[in-house]
Structure 1
Amino acid sequence: MSRKPAAARRPRRTAASATARVPSVTVRHYCQGIGDCHLLTFTKADGAPFRMLIDCGIHVSITGGPALVADIVGDLKKETGGKIDVLVVTHEHWDHVSGFLTSKDLFKDFSVGDVWMAWTENPADPGAIELDKFKGQALDALQGASRKLDGMQGLNPYMQRVRDGLQAVLGFQFGAAGERVRSARNAAAKLSAKPSPTYFEPGGVPQAIDGLPKLRIYVLGPPRDKAALRLEEKASEMFPLASGGPFARALASGLKMNQADDPTYIDELSPFERNIGTPLSTALNGDRGGDPVVDIGTFTRKHYSGPVSGAAPMEDRDQSWRRIDADWMGIAADLALQLDRGVNNTSLVLAFELIDSGRVFLFPGDAQIGNWLSWKDLKWPGGQATVATADLLARTVYLKVAHHGSQNATPQKQGLDLMTSPDLSAFIPTNKLDAVKVRWGEMPYDAILTALEAKTKGRVIRADDPWLADKNGKPGFAAPSGSIQAVRSAPRDPARGPGGLWVEVDLA
């Protein structure tokens, strides 16, 4: 048998040529901890960069947060020359949009081609209008409860936790000096060169980008279904969102009843006439009320708040543990969780598919369980075949972990279990110490972190990884490895504290 000429023989593949890939996208994750900001850079067919920025914010509790975000925006300007082709605003939470307000003077010099938002942010959408009314009324009620609890003494341990939890949730909705997160979201919208943002719904035709013929972008969320948004106490009851839901109505009604400066309020459920009894505030202040015989103030302090000056030894104990006058506001905890969960579930969820390789990069914002579960029946036209969500998840090789790795995001059966690619890698925008400070407890959640480590064979990068503080730091895995072809990082300005400013990964 004759041998083929040398020129016709297939060259031997070296180990490097067999595994190395040309980066399909470079992702620069900024490392502010509890906050999201991600710069995606694709290379167009003509060699020009296409840049997409996803969110820019930091939680209000982070010390020096606005200054750190200003450093981030300055780095963005240096890296991009101030040109962003698409700005994605995933949802209306302070830790995702605050930078557009606190660093608006820096952003004003940017050129932004288009702003992408979810249908939930569209002021002309009837569903979004209804949702907005719910959010507004719920926030008003929570703010009222928070102010009242802040001014109360003698709260029992449960109500102290409710007060602290309210402060944490409201930190997502309000920035310094009471600035509403809406102002930050609107500041982002105004950066667009177009008259208004482009709003997206799940499903439909995958998005195509001019100059990037090998890229498809799928919109998975947020869902239209109210039950999937999880804004009702029970999905079967379908309370109207526009009225704020029963939690918001009850809380608002109770706050109004407790306003001493509102003499017109009538409690229709009270078994007594309005002129019967002594207001608790009056009794606690030591007044006798209208009874000339019984000293209501002394009796109340002795048996309800205490201690009482001059009381007998056995009566001189602090009785404030008996107080229940604030317990009715415990409903604020349920409303706060409902609101927080609902807003997270309005996250715009994007899956980026590389057509040639079929690989997928998933950016779910802060999507929680309701959002994730709503994807399972979605289908898209994809060339000669239909693309389903399970297929996209099976081909996912890179995951931006939702909601800072919290326990109420990234489901197991409808999430990680479906991500079966052996090339999976992940990034978590989290900071464990800051999460403790905000009283969130375990974040990232240990079970999710353990599952991710197993799924990715250790290819998990966290925004609080110690090696990011070293300009020569390297992750604990070798690159190329899985979807990650190379890793670069930059430490923060020491004036902003220890840690990394950003970590950058080349993905293929």
Structure 2
Amino acid sequence: MTRPAPIRVRIFVYNVGFGDCILLCFDYDQGRSRTVLVDFGSTQKAQSGAPPSMNDVAREIGEQCGGKLDVVIATHRHADHISGFAGSSGAVISGLQPEVVVQPWTEEPGLAVDATDSAASSPRAGNRKFTARLDRLHAAAAQVLHQIPRLAATPGVTASLTNELRFLGETNIKNAEAVKALQAMGDRHEYASFGSDLGLADVLPGVGVEVLGPPTLAQSPEIAAMAASDADEFWHLAATADAVPGQPSVRDLFPGARTARRVPQEARWLVPRIDKMQAEELLSLVRILDDVMNNTSLILLFTIGETLLLFPGDAQLENWSYALQRAPNSADICARLSQTRVYKVGHHGSLNSTPRTMLWGGFARAGQVDPAERLITLLSTRAGKHGSESRGTEVPRGRLVEELEARSELVNTQDCRAASGWWREVVVPL
């Protein structure tokens, strides 16, 4: 018996500010549509055309999916991708009764524990150690947040520096409530890595879902090095044991040293300079934490007949490079990706989440004039919250946005205005 195939896909892109929230609706000739929610989070509300709250987004999703979600995908743990799954907005999503929840392999509950001596011989011991490192990096982000009030009051520490520290710190904390909500949601959970079979043939008839990332440690041992410097290895964090109560893994740097009650007059000029230096070092650290978590992101390719939809979450170059260069079938993957019809722009348009030569340069539909053949790109972002133009790291990257506008049909959440509504619908005939 031939499986039914969708006749079109409707894509709803919600303006949640700095975050991601996209609903895919696969429509069939007969029977109900099948729906997939890809991420549901935000850390900074949109400047204009924004919904009043994530509750409003959740209710709108409920209406547009007909009261039923089939699959929920949380590409990775960053707050701007999963924060909405916590609290009342998360309860609305859970009430839509998703059948399957898909997350990266790093989120599997059985792995998120410290490796013990008895587990050292297990083939999964390396994965356990890696996820334990991720937990320690989350604790480091919490420490950074704890120090911001003091740094903000320090002469010489600029508001832009403390704002970026706060933004990245809030993004990289563990988001425990949202994580627990995802674990409790759905009838089945899939923790995916490159090449995983998600078993969605019955849930999404006629839709292939291929996992292109992240790789496991066995597939790409290099990713372990990204998190090798855990919280105890950063001296300026180890020196602030009391910054976050309840973090026993962080120790005094010099536990036997005497503590001075007052700074000598002749040394007071040095204190703000040291504080400024610490703030700059913390910002460098929290950027590292951000990159590590981004590279645990799912990269998913939806295939309906000859139509390809590519959703890479926040995957950065290190994640992409396995699928596009080092995997045994990388040449085949690159050939197929060249025909991508819809591309969700990675990491809100950052400088290294859309590899210029490995990925963007291979999109055959980029630059096509015919709207029926032209590449469609989806960009969910808010400018001014991440990176800086002076360093060439602003998000979204100006040069990338110019290229997207010139060579694709760009749907940019920043173009949403109150008068035109806070979401956009893209219809792709199949």
The two structures share one fold, judged by TM-score above 0.5: yes
Which residue of 2 is the match for residue 267 of structure 1? 254
Give, as a single letter, the amino acid of the residue that structure 2 aligns with 1:432. Answer: A
> Which of 352, 372, 376 is 1:425 aligned to?
376
CA contact (8 A) 1:142 1:166 kept: no
Which residue of 1 is the match for residue 335 of structure 2? 391
User: In the alignment, is residue 133 of structure 1 matched against residue 152 of structure 2?
Assistant: no
User: Within 5 A, what are the aligned runs for 1:316-331?
Assistant: 319=269, 323-324=273-274, 327-328=277-278, 330-331=280-281
Give, as a single letter, the amino acid of the residue that structure 2 aligns with 1:452. Answer: L
Distance 1:253 1:329, change over 3 A: farther
Give, as a single letter, the amino acid of the residue that structure 2 aligns with 1:335. Answer: L
Once residues 325 and 436 of structure 1 are traced to their aligned partners in structure 2, the CA distance between those partners, rounded to angstroms, is 21
Once residues 45 and 379 of structure 1 are traced to their aligned partners in structure 2, the CA distance between those partners, rounded to angstroms, is 38
Once residues 64 and 152 of structure 2 are traced to their aligned partners in structure 1, the CA distance between those partners, rounded to angstroms, is 51
Give, as a single letter, the amino acid of the residue that structure 2 aligns with 1:455. Answer: R
TM-score under structure 1 length normalisation: 0.68
Distance 1:462 1:246, change over 3 A: same
Which residue of 2 is the match for residue 170 of structure 1? 169
Residues 96-127 of structure 1 deviation map (CA, whole Å, 9 limit, x = unaligned) = 11111131342342211111111111122445
Partner of 1:29, secondary structure, is strand
User: In the alignment, is residue 255 of structure 1 matched against residue 240 of structure 2?
Assistant: yes
User: In the alignment, is residue 337 of structure 1 matched against residue 321 of structure 2?
Assistant: no
Deviation at 1:463, TM superposition (A): 0.4
Once residues 253 and 343 of structure 2 are traced to their aligned partners in structure 1, the CA distance between those partners, rounded to angstroms, is 54
Which residue of 2 is the match for residue 369 of structure 1? 317
Distance 1:109 1:205, change over 3 A: closer
Which residue of 2 is the match for residue 448 of structure 1? 400
Give, as a single letter, the amino acid of the residue that structure 2 aligns with 1:183. Answer: E
Residues 153-173 of structure 1 deviation map (CA, whole Å, 9 limit, x = unaligned) = 773646866543321112213
After TM superposition, the runs of 4+ consecutive aligned structure 1 residues lying more than 4 A away are 60-67, 158-162, 204-208, 433-437
Which residue of 2 is the match for residue 486 of structure 1? none
User: Within 5 A, what are the aligned runs for 1:58-457?
Assistant: 58-60=42-44, 67-102=52-87, 103-125=89-111, 126=124, 127-152=126-151, 155=154, 157=156, 163-174=162-173, 180-194=174-188, 197-204=189-196, 208-210=200-202, 214-224=206-216, 225-228=220-223, 231-232=226-227, 239=228, 243-244=230-231, 246-247=233-234, 250-256=235-241, 267=254, 274=257, 279=260, 282-284=261-263, 300-301=264-265, 303-305=266-268, 319=269, 323-324=273-274, 327-328=277-278, 330-355=280-305, 358-376=306-324, 377-378=326-327, 388-421=332-365, 422=368, 423-432=374-383, 442-456=394-408
Distance 1:454 1:229, change over 3 A: farther
Deviation at 1:202, TM superposition (A): 0.4
TM-score under structure 2 length normalisation: 0.79
Q: Which has the larger radius of gyration?
A: 1
Give, as a single letter, the amino acid of the residue that structure 1 aligns with 2:364. Answer: T
Question: Structure 1 regions of 5+ residues with no counterpart?
Answer: 1-21, 175-179, 233-238, 285-299, 306-318, 381-385, 472-490, 492-499
Deviation at 1:396, TM superposition (A): 0.6
Distance 1:245 1:434, change over 3 A: closer
Partner of 1:336, secondary structure, is helix
Partner of 2:24, secondary structure, is strand
Once residues 370 and 110 of structure 1 are traced to their aligned partners in structure 2, the CA distance between those partners, rounded to angstroms, is 35
Distance 1:207 1:213, change over 3 A: same
Deviation at 1:182, TM superposition (A): 2.4
Name the stretch that deviates more: 425-434 or 64-73: 64-73
Deviation at 1:34, TM superposition (A): 1.1
Give, as a single letter, the amino acid of the residue that structure 1 aligns with 2:128. Answer: I
Once residues 381 and 243 of structure 2 are traced to their aligned partners in structure 1, the CA distance between those partners, rounded to angstroms, is 40
Deviation at 1:428, TM superposition (A): 0.3
Once residues 265 and 367 of structure 1 are traced to their aligned partners in structure 2, the CA distance between those partners, rounded to angstroms, is 35
Which residue of 2 is the match for residue 497 of structure 1? none
CA contact (8 A) 1:142 1:332 kept: no
Once residues 258 and 37 of structure 1 are traced to their aligned partners in structure 2, the CA distance between those partners, rounded to angstroms, is 33
Deviation at 1:245, TM superposition (A): 6.5
Give, as a single letter, the amino acid of the residue that structure 1 aligns with 2:181. Answer: A
Question: Structure 2 regions of 5+ residues with no counterpart?
Answer: 1-5, 112-123, 245-250, 369-373
Once residues 258 and 107 of structure 1 are traced to their aligned partners in structure 2, the CA distance between those partners, rounded to angstroms, is 35
Which residue of 2 is the match for residue 293 of structure 1? none
Distance 1:230 1:84, change over 3 A: farther
Give, as a single letter, the amino acid of the residue that structure 2 aligns with 1:267. Answer: F
Q: Determine which structure has greater relative contact order: mean sequence separation of CA pairs < 8 Å that are 6+ residues apart, divided by chain length.
A: 2
CA contact (8 A) 1:145 1:255 kept: no
Which residue of 1 is the match for residue 119 of structure 2? none
Deviation at 1:258, TM superposition (A): 9.5
Residues 402-434 of structure 1 deviation map (CA, whole Å, 9 limit, x = unaligned) = 111122321101120121223211010012266
Name the stretch that deviates more: 162-171 or 340-349: 162-171
Q: Identity across aligned pairs (percent)?
A: 25
Residues 71-100 of structure 1 deviation map (CA, whole Å, 9 limit, x = unaligned) = 111111122232111111111011111111
CA contact (8 A) 1:60 1:171 kept: no
Partner of 1:35, secondary structure, is strand
Give, as a single letter, the amino acid of the residue that structure 2 aligns with 1:191. Answer: M
Give, as a single letter, the amino acid of the residue that structure 2 aligns with 1:246. Answer: E
Give, as a single letter, the amino acid of the residue that structure 2 aligns with 1:58. Answer: S
CA contact (8 A) 1:146 1:163 kept: no
Partner of 1:396, secondary structure, is coil
Q: How many residues align?
A: 391
Once residues 97 and 396 of structure 2 are traced to their aligned partners in structure 1, the CA distance between those partners, rounded to angstroms, is 35
CA contact (8 A) 1:257 1:267 kept: no
Distance 1:107 1:325, change over 3 A: closer
Distance 1:23 1:451, change over 3 A: farther
Distance 1:49 1:157, change over 3 A: same
Residues 161-196 of structure 1 deviation map (CA, whole Å, 9 limit, x = unaligned) = 65433211122135xxxxx512202212312023xx
